[in-house]
Amino acid sequence: MPSLLNDAVKLPCGLVFPNRLSKAAMAENLATSDSNPNENFNLAYNRWSDGGWGMIMTGNVQVDVDHLGNFKDPAVQTDYETKSSKLWKAYAAASQKHGSPTIVQLAHPGRQSLRGAGRRGLFAPTIAPSAIPLTIGNNFLDSVITSLAFPRPREMTQKDINTVIRLFVDSARFIAESGFSGIELHAAHGYLLDQFINPKTNLRTDVYGGSAENRARLLLDILKGCREAVPATFCIGVKLNSADHSAANLEDTMTQIRLLVDAGIDFLEVSGGTYENPRMVDGDKPAISQTKSARTAAREAFFLDFAKETRKRFPNLVLMLTGGFRSRAGAEAAIKENACDLVGIARPAAVNPRFAALLLDEGTRDEDAQISLDKVRPGWLPKLLRSQILGAGAESTYYADQIHRLAKGRATAVPGH
Protein backbone atom coordinates (compact mmCIF):
# COMPACT_ATOMS: atom_id res chain seq x y z
CA MET A 1 0.00 0.00 0.00
CA PRO A 2 1.43 3.44 -0.83
CA SER A 3 2.58 5.44 2.18
CA LEU A 4 0.33 8.30 3.27
CA LEU A 5 3.42 10.42 2.75
CA ASN A 6 2.50 10.13 -0.94
CA ASP A 7 -0.65 12.23 -0.49
CA ALA A 8 -0.68 15.49 -2.40
CA VAL A 9 -1.20 18.67 -0.36
CA LYS A 10 -3.15 21.58 -1.86
CA LEU A 11 -2.53 25.07 -0.47
CA PRO A 12 -5.09 27.89 -0.28
CA CYS A 13 -3.34 29.67 -3.19
CA GLY A 14 -4.00 26.60 -5.35
CA LEU A 15 -0.40 25.34 -5.46
CA VAL A 16 -0.18 21.56 -5.06
CA PHE A 17 2.74 19.77 -3.44
CA PRO A 18 2.78 16.28 -4.99
CA ASN A 19 3.61 14.64 -1.64
CA ARG A 20 4.09 15.51 2.03
CA LEU A 21 7.89 15.50 2.22
CA SER A 22 9.67 18.85 2.10
CA LYS A 23 13.35 19.48 1.90
CA ALA A 24 13.70 22.05 4.71
CA ALA A 25 15.79 25.22 4.55
CA MET A 26 19.55 24.89 4.80
CA ALA A 27 21.79 27.90 4.20
CA GLU A 28 24.02 26.76 1.35
CA ASN A 29 26.97 29.02 2.11
CA LEU A 30 27.65 29.14 -1.60
CA ALA A 31 26.79 32.64 -2.87
CA THR A 32 29.20 34.66 -4.99
CA SER A 33 31.11 37.59 -3.50
CA ASP A 34 28.31 39.88 -4.75
CA SER A 35 25.71 37.74 -2.94
CA ASN A 36 24.13 36.15 -5.99
CA PRO A 37 23.33 32.48 -6.61
CA ASN A 38 25.69 30.79 -9.07
CA GLU A 39 26.08 27.52 -10.94
CA ASN A 40 26.80 25.69 -7.64
CA PHE A 41 23.26 26.50 -6.47
CA ASN A 42 21.85 25.12 -9.72
CA LEU A 43 23.88 21.92 -9.40
CA ALA A 44 22.94 21.29 -5.75
CA TYR A 45 19.26 22.10 -6.29
CA ASN A 46 19.15 19.98 -9.40
CA ARG A 47 20.10 17.02 -7.19
CA TRP A 48 17.23 17.78 -4.78
CA SER A 49 14.88 18.42 -7.70
CA ASP A 50 15.44 14.82 -8.74
CA GLY A 51 15.00 13.55 -5.17
CA GLY A 52 11.26 12.93 -4.99
CA TRP A 53 10.49 15.91 -2.71
CA GLY A 54 6.94 17.28 -2.62
CA MET A 55 8.42 20.71 -1.98
CA ILE A 56 11.90 22.19 -1.89
CA MET A 57 12.66 25.06 0.46
CA THR A 58 15.78 27.09 -0.27
CA GLY A 59 18.22 28.18 2.39
CA ASN A 60 17.67 31.67 3.74
CA VAL A 61 17.86 34.42 1.15
CA GLN A 62 18.46 37.83 2.67
CA VAL A 63 16.34 40.80 1.68
CA ASP A 64 19.04 43.37 2.51
CA VAL A 65 22.52 42.96 1.09
CA ASP A 66 23.82 45.26 3.84
CA HIS A 67 22.70 42.74 6.46
CA LEU A 68 23.60 39.15 5.68
CA GLY A 69 23.49 36.41 8.31
CA ASN A 70 26.63 34.83 6.96
CA PHE A 71 29.28 35.95 4.48
CA LYS A 72 28.07 33.67 1.70
CA ASP A 73 24.31 34.18 2.01
CA PRO A 74 22.54 35.06 -1.22
CA ALA A 75 20.58 38.33 -1.18
CA VAL A 76 17.90 39.78 -3.42
CA GLN A 77 19.21 43.16 -4.49
CA THR A 78 16.30 45.02 -5.99
CA ASP A 79 17.89 48.34 -4.95
CA TYR A 80 20.98 47.71 -7.05
CA GLU A 81 21.59 47.29 -10.76
CA THR A 82 23.13 43.83 -10.34
CA LYS A 83 21.96 42.20 -13.56
CA SER A 84 21.15 39.22 -11.39
CA SER A 85 17.67 38.31 -12.65
CA LYS A 86 19.14 35.82 -15.15
CA LEU A 87 20.94 34.04 -12.30
CA TRP A 88 17.79 33.78 -10.16
CA LYS A 89 15.75 32.55 -13.12
CA ALA A 90 18.33 29.84 -13.78
CA TYR A 91 18.21 28.87 -10.09
CA ALA A 92 14.38 28.67 -10.17
CA ALA A 93 14.48 26.53 -13.31
CA ALA A 94 17.17 24.16 -11.95
CA SER A 95 15.42 23.59 -8.64
CA GLN A 96 12.04 22.89 -10.25
CA LYS A 97 13.32 20.92 -13.24
CA HIS A 98 11.72 17.66 -12.10
CA GLY A 99 8.46 19.14 -10.89
CA SER A 100 8.93 19.84 -7.16
CA PRO A 101 7.73 23.40 -6.43
CA THR A 102 10.49 25.51 -4.85
CA ILE A 103 9.78 28.02 -2.10
CA VAL A 104 12.36 30.73 -1.35
CA GLN A 105 12.91 31.51 2.30
CA LEU A 106 13.18 35.29 2.74
CA ALA A 107 14.99 36.53 5.82
CA HIS A 108 16.59 39.44 7.60
CA PRO A 109 19.07 38.50 10.35
CA GLY A 110 18.64 41.62 12.50
CA ARG A 111 21.09 41.32 15.42
CA GLN A 112 22.17 37.82 14.26
CA SER A 113 24.32 39.28 11.47
CA LEU A 114 28.01 38.48 11.68
CA ARG A 115 30.44 41.38 11.67
CA GLY A 116 31.48 41.97 8.08
CA ALA A 117 28.58 39.96 6.61
CA GLY A 118 27.01 42.34 4.11
CA ARG A 119 27.93 45.72 2.73
CA ARG A 120 27.27 47.81 5.83
CA GLY A 121 30.94 47.83 6.88
CA LEU A 122 32.89 46.27 9.74
CA PHE A 123 32.03 48.82 12.40
CA ALA A 124 28.38 49.53 11.59
CA PRO A 125 25.85 48.20 14.10
CA THR A 126 23.27 45.58 13.30
CA ILE A 127 19.59 46.55 13.56
CA ALA A 128 17.00 45.12 15.92
CA PRO A 129 13.69 46.07 17.56
CA SER A 130 15.62 46.99 20.72
CA ALA A 131 19.33 47.52 21.39
CA ILE A 132 19.83 44.17 23.15
CA PRO A 133 23.06 42.39 22.22
CA LEU A 134 23.27 38.63 21.74
CA THR A 135 24.38 36.51 24.69
CA ILE A 136 25.90 33.21 23.61
CA GLY A 137 27.40 30.93 26.26
CA ASN A 138 27.94 31.90 29.85
CA ASN A 139 31.62 32.57 30.36
CA PHE A 140 33.87 35.57 29.81
CA LEU A 141 35.54 34.17 26.70
CA ASP A 142 32.18 33.53 25.03
CA SER A 143 30.96 37.04 25.78
CA VAL A 144 34.14 38.55 24.27
CA ILE A 145 33.90 36.40 21.15
CA THR A 146 30.18 37.10 20.78
CA SER A 147 30.68 40.84 20.93
CA LEU A 148 33.49 40.62 18.37
CA ALA A 149 31.49 38.38 16.05
CA PHE A 150 28.14 40.19 16.32
CA PRO A 151 28.14 44.00 16.48
CA ARG A 152 25.88 45.56 19.08
CA PRO A 153 22.49 46.29 17.52
CA ARG A 154 20.86 49.70 17.42
CA GLU A 155 17.13 50.16 17.92
CA MET A 156 15.31 50.50 14.61
CA THR A 157 13.57 53.77 13.76
CA GLN A 158 10.22 53.93 11.94
CA LYS A 159 12.22 54.70 8.78
CA ASP A 160 14.23 51.49 9.24
CA ILE A 161 10.99 49.56 9.70
CA ASN A 162 9.53 51.04 6.51
CA THR A 163 12.71 50.11 4.63
CA VAL A 164 12.60 46.52 5.88
CA ILE A 165 8.95 46.17 4.84
CA ARG A 166 9.76 47.53 1.38
CA LEU A 167 12.76 45.20 1.00
CA PHE A 168 10.68 42.10 1.86
CA VAL A 169 7.91 43.16 -0.53
CA ASP A 170 10.31 43.99 -3.38
CA SER A 171 12.07 40.66 -2.81
CA ALA A 172 8.78 38.74 -2.91
CA ARG A 173 7.91 40.38 -6.24
CA PHE A 174 11.37 39.64 -7.64
CA ILE A 175 11.22 35.99 -6.54
CA ALA A 176 7.76 35.56 -8.14
CA GLU A 177 9.04 37.11 -11.38
CA SER A 178 12.05 34.78 -11.29
CA GLY A 179 9.76 31.76 -11.60
CA PHE A 180 9.79 30.27 -8.09
CA SER A 181 6.51 28.89 -6.69
CA GLY A 182 6.43 30.87 -3.47
CA ILE A 183 8.18 32.44 -0.51
CA GLU A 184 8.41 31.65 3.16
CA LEU A 185 8.85 34.57 5.55
CA HIS A 186 11.46 33.48 8.08
CA ALA A 187 10.04 34.58 11.42
CA ALA A 188 11.84 31.94 13.48
CA HIS A 189 15.32 31.12 14.85
CA GLY A 190 15.98 34.52 16.41
CA TYR A 191 16.15 36.45 13.12
CA LEU A 192 14.72 39.96 12.80
CA LEU A 193 11.01 39.05 12.50
CA ASP A 194 11.33 36.67 15.46
CA GLN A 195 13.16 39.40 17.41
CA PHE A 196 10.05 41.56 16.98
CA ILE A 197 7.68 38.73 17.94
CA ASN A 198 9.58 37.75 21.08
CA PRO A 199 9.05 39.94 24.19
CA LYS A 200 12.60 39.17 25.38
CA THR A 201 14.12 40.97 22.39
CA ASN A 202 11.37 43.51 21.74
CA LEU A 203 11.07 46.17 24.47
CA ARG A 204 9.53 48.81 22.19
CA THR A 205 6.81 51.10 23.42
CA ASP A 206 5.45 52.08 19.97
CA VAL A 207 2.91 50.15 17.86
CA TYR A 208 5.53 47.45 17.14
CA GLY A 209 6.03 46.51 20.80
CA GLY A 210 4.08 45.56 23.91
CA SER A 211 1.09 43.30 23.22
CA ALA A 212 1.27 40.05 21.24
CA GLU A 213 -0.62 41.82 18.44
CA ASN A 214 1.83 44.73 18.32
CA ARG A 215 4.85 42.43 18.29
CA ALA A 216 3.41 40.59 15.27
CA ARG A 217 2.69 43.85 13.44
CA LEU A 218 5.91 43.97 11.39
CA LEU A 219 5.41 40.39 10.17
CA LEU A 220 1.77 41.15 9.34
CA ASP A 221 2.64 44.40 7.52
CA ILE A 222 5.18 42.47 5.45
CA LEU A 223 2.73 39.65 4.79
CA LYS A 224 0.06 42.08 3.61
CA GLY A 225 2.52 43.97 1.37
CA CYS A 226 3.81 40.73 -0.17
CA ARG A 227 0.28 39.46 -0.84
CA GLU A 228 -0.51 42.64 -2.77
CA ALA A 229 2.72 42.41 -4.76
CA VAL A 230 2.53 38.83 -6.03
CA PRO A 231 -0.04 36.84 -8.05
CA ALA A 232 -2.85 35.19 -6.05
CA THR A 233 -1.51 31.78 -7.09
CA PHE A 234 1.91 32.47 -5.53
CA CYS A 235 2.45 30.70 -2.20
CA ILE A 236 3.30 32.62 0.99
CA GLY A 237 4.23 30.59 4.06
CA VAL A 238 5.65 31.61 7.43
CA LYS A 239 8.24 29.86 9.62
CA LEU A 240 7.61 30.48 13.29
CA ASN A 241 9.20 29.31 16.51
CA SER A 242 7.12 27.14 18.75
CA ALA A 243 6.65 28.85 22.11
CA ASP A 244 10.36 28.47 22.99
CA HIS A 245 8.98 29.49 25.56
CA SER A 246 7.22 29.30 28.82
CA ALA A 247 3.54 28.39 29.12
CA ALA A 248 2.86 32.13 29.55
CA ASN A 249 4.08 32.74 26.00
CA LEU A 250 2.01 29.95 24.48
CA GLU A 251 -1.17 32.02 24.43
CA ASP A 252 0.70 34.98 22.92
CA THR A 253 2.04 32.73 20.18
CA MET A 254 -1.44 31.32 19.52
CA THR A 255 -2.79 34.88 19.27
CA GLN A 256 -0.09 35.66 16.72
CA ILE A 257 -0.90 32.53 14.71
CA ARG A 258 -4.58 33.58 14.74
CA LEU A 259 -3.55 36.93 13.20
CA LEU A 260 -1.53 35.16 10.51
CA VAL A 261 -4.40 32.81 9.73
CA ASP A 262 -6.84 35.73 9.49
CA ALA A 263 -4.44 37.62 7.22
CA GLY A 264 -4.16 34.55 4.97
CA ILE A 265 -1.10 32.31 4.83
CA ASP A 266 -0.64 29.20 2.74
CA PHE A 267 1.21 27.22 5.39
CA LEU A 268 2.89 27.59 8.75
CA GLU A 269 6.21 25.87 9.40
CA VAL A 270 6.90 25.12 13.05
CA SER A 271 10.47 25.15 14.35
CA GLY A 272 12.25 26.56 17.39
CA GLY A 273 15.53 27.92 18.77
CA THR A 274 17.84 30.88 18.24
CA TYR A 275 21.62 31.40 18.03
CA GLU A 276 21.56 31.72 21.82
CA ASN A 277 19.76 28.40 22.24
CA PRO A 278 20.03 26.37 19.02
CA ARG A 279 17.08 24.04 19.55
CA MET A 280 16.34 24.03 15.80
CA VAL A 281 19.21 21.54 15.40
CA ASP A 282 19.49 20.16 18.97
CA GLY A 283 15.77 19.53 19.47
CA ASP A 284 13.41 20.38 22.26
CA LYS A 285 13.22 18.66 25.59
CA PRO A 286 10.34 16.20 25.89
CA ALA A 287 7.31 17.62 27.67
CA ILE A 288 7.44 16.93 31.39
CA SER A 289 4.06 15.24 31.32
CA GLN A 290 5.17 12.80 28.66
CA THR A 291 5.13 9.19 29.83
CA LYS A 292 7.22 6.47 28.33
CA SER A 293 4.23 4.93 26.58
CA ALA A 294 3.58 8.23 24.82
CA ARG A 295 6.96 7.92 23.14
CA THR A 296 5.64 6.78 19.79
CA ALA A 297 7.60 6.80 16.55
CA ALA A 298 6.46 10.39 16.00
CA ARG A 299 8.64 11.30 18.99
CA GLU A 300 11.66 11.55 16.72
CA ALA A 301 10.13 14.89 15.68
CA PHE A 302 11.04 18.03 17.59
CA PHE A 303 8.27 20.48 18.57
CA LEU A 304 5.56 17.81 18.20
CA ASP A 305 3.46 18.92 21.17
CA PHE A 306 3.38 22.49 19.92
CA ALA A 307 2.35 21.36 16.43
CA LYS A 308 -0.49 19.28 17.90
CA GLU A 309 -1.72 22.19 19.97
CA THR A 310 -1.63 24.45 16.91
CA ARG A 311 -3.54 21.83 14.92
CA LYS A 312 -6.19 21.60 17.64
CA ARG A 313 -6.82 25.32 17.50
CA PHE A 314 -6.42 25.86 13.74
CA PRO A 315 -7.63 22.64 12.09
CA ASN A 316 -7.66 24.14 8.56
CA LEU A 317 -4.16 25.65 8.66
CA VAL A 318 -1.64 23.72 6.54
CA LEU A 319 1.11 22.81 9.00
CA MET A 320 4.69 21.85 8.26
CA LEU A 321 6.74 20.40 11.10
CA THR A 322 10.52 20.43 10.80
CA GLY A 323 13.25 18.93 12.93
CA GLY A 324 14.35 15.44 13.94
CA PHE A 325 12.59 13.31 11.30
CA ARG A 326 14.84 10.43 10.30
CA SER A 327 12.50 7.65 9.13
CA ARG A 328 9.39 6.82 7.16
CA ALA A 329 7.81 5.43 10.35
CA GLY A 330 8.47 8.71 12.22
CA ALA A 331 7.11 10.85 9.39
CA GLU A 332 4.01 8.67 8.94
CA ALA A 333 3.35 8.66 12.69
CA ALA A 334 3.38 12.47 12.84
CA ILE A 335 0.82 12.59 10.01
CA LYS A 336 -1.30 9.84 11.58
CA GLU A 337 -1.27 11.64 14.93
CA ASN A 338 -2.54 14.67 13.00
CA ALA A 339 0.39 16.83 14.11
CA CYS A 340 1.11 18.17 10.61
CA ASP A 341 0.42 17.96 6.86
CA LEU A 342 4.00 18.42 5.67
CA VAL A 343 7.16 16.91 7.08
CA GLY A 344 10.25 19.12 6.84
CA ILE A 345 13.58 17.31 6.55
CA ALA A 346 16.93 19.11 6.52
CA ARG A 347 20.12 17.23 7.50
CA PRO A 348 19.15 13.86 5.97
CA ALA A 349 18.56 15.73 2.68
CA ALA A 350 22.11 17.10 2.76
CA VAL A 351 23.66 13.64 2.88
CA ASN A 352 21.05 11.93 0.71
CA PRO A 353 19.35 14.27 -1.79
CA ARG A 354 16.99 11.40 -2.70
CA PHE A 355 15.92 10.76 0.90
CA ALA A 356 12.29 11.60 0.01
CA ALA A 357 12.31 9.08 -2.85
CA LEU A 358 13.66 6.46 -0.42
CA LEU A 359 10.84 7.05 2.09
CA LEU A 360 8.20 7.02 -0.66
CA ASP A 361 9.48 3.86 -2.34
CA GLU A 362 6.98 1.06 -1.71
CA GLY A 363 9.65 -1.53 -2.48
CA THR A 364 11.81 -0.37 0.45
CA ARG A 365 11.03 -1.96 3.83
CA ASP A 366 10.38 0.32 6.80
CA GLU A 367 13.61 -0.74 8.50
CA ASP A 368 15.57 0.45 5.46
CA ALA A 369 13.55 3.65 4.97
CA GLN A 370 15.51 5.64 7.51
CA ILE A 371 18.86 7.25 8.23
CA SER A 372 20.82 7.51 11.43
CA LEU A 373 22.91 10.66 11.93
CA ASP A 374 25.32 10.95 14.84
CA LYS A 375 25.70 14.35 16.43
CA VAL A 376 28.60 16.31 14.92
CA ARG A 377 30.98 16.95 17.79
CA PRO A 378 32.83 20.28 18.02
CA GLY A 379 36.63 20.06 17.80
CA TRP A 380 38.97 19.87 20.82
CA LEU A 381 39.45 23.63 21.20
CA PRO A 382 35.84 24.58 22.11
CA LYS A 383 35.81 21.64 24.52
CA LEU A 384 39.07 22.67 26.12
CA LEU A 385 37.94 26.29 26.46
CA ARG A 386 34.37 25.29 27.45
CA SER A 387 33.19 27.66 24.76
CA GLN A 388 29.63 27.43 23.45
CA ILE A 389 30.15 29.93 20.64
CA LEU A 390 33.33 28.30 19.27
CA GLY A 391 31.53 24.94 19.09
CA ALA A 392 28.26 26.36 17.83
CA GLY A 393 28.85 26.00 14.11
CA ALA A 394 30.02 22.37 14.05
CA GLU A 395 26.71 20.87 12.93
CA SER A 396 25.92 23.54 10.30
CA THR A 397 29.49 23.57 8.97
CA TYR A 398 29.40 19.80 8.50
CA TYR A 399 26.12 19.82 6.59
CA ALA A 400 26.97 22.94 4.56
CA ASP A 401 30.04 20.99 3.46
CA GLN A 402 27.79 18.13 2.34
CA ILE A 403 25.79 20.63 0.25
CA HIS A 404 29.05 21.78 -1.37
CA ARG A 405 29.77 18.14 -2.16
CA LEU A 406 26.33 17.76 -3.76
CA ALA A 407 27.07 20.79 -5.92
CA LYS A 408 30.40 19.32 -7.02
CA GLY A 409 28.91 15.87 -7.71
CA ARG A 410 31.07 14.35 -4.95
CA ALA A 411 29.99 11.61 -2.54
CA THR A 412 28.50 12.82 0.73
CA ALA A 413 29.22 11.27 4.13
CA VAL A 414 26.95 10.45 7.05
CA PRO A 415 28.47 11.67 10.33
CA GLY A 416 29.61 8.88 12.61
CA HIS A 417 29.66 6.24 9.84
Ligand X SMILES: Cc1cc2nc3c(=O)[nH]c(=O)nc-3n(C[C@H](O)[C@H](O)[C@H](O)COP(=O)(O)O)c2cc1C
Residue 399 interacting with ligand X (CB under 6 A): yes
Alpha-carbon distance of 275 to 112, in angstroms, equals: 7
Alpha-carbon distance of 2 to 11, in angstroms, equals: 22
Q: Which of 94, 243, 345, 392 binds ligand X (CB under 6 A)?
A: 345
Alpha-carbon distance of 129 to 113, in angstroms, equals: 14
Residue 59 interacting with ligand X (CB under 6 A): yes
Asked whether 73 and 108 are in contact (CB, 8 A), the reply is no
Minimum Å gap between C-beta 350 and ligand X is: 7
Say if strands 153-155 and 267-271 run parallel, antiparallel, or are unpaired: unpaired
* From 142-150, 168-176, 258-266, 342-350, span contacting ligand X (CB under 6 A): 342-350
Residue 242 interacting with ligand X (CB under 6 A): no
Alpha-carbon distance of 171 to 203, in angstroms, equals: 28
Interacting residues with ligand X between 90 and 149 (CB under 6 A): 105
Residue 51 interacting with ligand X (CB under 6 A): no
Alpha-carbon distance of 206 to 218, in angstroms, equals: 12
- Is 27 or 172 the residue whose CB approaches ligand X more closely? 27
Exposure string (b/e) for 205-218, b if CB count within 10 Å is 16 or more? eeebbeebebbbbb
Q: What are phi and psi of 172, to 5 degrees?
A: -60, -45
Asked whether 182 and 227 are in contact (CB, 8 A), the reply is no
Q: Which of 68, 281, 307, 331 binds ligand X (CB under 6 A)?
A: 281
Residue 186 interacting with ligand X (CB under 6 A): yes
Residue 346 interacting with ligand X (CB under 6 A): yes
* From 5-13, 151-159, 221-229, 340-348, span contacting ligand X (CB under 6 A): 340-348
Q: Which of 11, 24, 218, 335 binds ligand X (CB under 6 A)?
A: 24
Minimum Å gap between C-beta 322 and ligand X is: 4
Amino acid sitting at position 388: Q
Interacting residues with ligand X between 197 and 236 (CB under 6 A): none
- What residues make contact with ligand X under the rule CB under 6 A? 24-27, 59-60, 105, 186, 189, 239, 271, 280-281, 322-325, 345-347, 395-396, 399-400
